[in-house]
């Protein structure tokens, strides 16, 4: 029997680098907003999939919160179909350089 992977194991597998804390909530809010825009237009999930040019199962999986780490291209296509302006920004960690010098031995 296969064991279920934890959220952390999935995150490590999908993303080779560590993601900033709390990014999942931002992504969930964005996806929820896209579905609200589709609802406001009286679009079904099938309509959203067709207009975005993505598979219905992909939209369904996002709507049911089965897919946790969607491709950014999928999000972009959905937002384009809904005429929503979104911009992906990579937040880079700020680095404070240590002014102490290490002694060479």
Are 65 and 95 in contact, with CB atoms under 8 Å apart?
no
CB atoms within 10 A of CB 37: 17
Q: Tell me if residue 38 falls in helix, strand or coil.
A: helix
Longest dimension (CA), the chain: 71
Over residues 9-15, mean pLDDT: 46
Q: Which domains does the chain have, with CATH numbers?
A: 20-81 (1.10.260.40)
User: Which tens digit of pLDDT belongs to each residue from 34-71?
Assistant: 999 999 999 999 999 999 999 999 999 999 888 877 88
Choose between 19 and 58: higher pLDDT.
58
> For residue 20, with 0-12 CB atoms within 10 Å meaning exposed, 13-18 middle and 19 or more buried, which class applies?
exposed
């Amino acid at each position: 029997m296969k064991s279920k992977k934890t959220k952390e194991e999935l995150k490590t597998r999908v993303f080779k680098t560590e993601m900033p804390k709390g990014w999942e909530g931002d992504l969930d809010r964005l996806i929820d907003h896209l579905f609200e825009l589709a609802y406001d237009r009286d679009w079904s999930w099938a309509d959203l999939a067709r207009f975005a040019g993505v598979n219905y199962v992909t939209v369904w999986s996002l709507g049911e919160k089965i897919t946790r780490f969607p491709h950014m291209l999928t999000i972009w296509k959905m937002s384009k179909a809904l005429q929503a302006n979104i911009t992906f920004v990579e937040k880079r960690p700020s680095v404070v350089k240590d002014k102490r010098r290490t002694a060479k031995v």
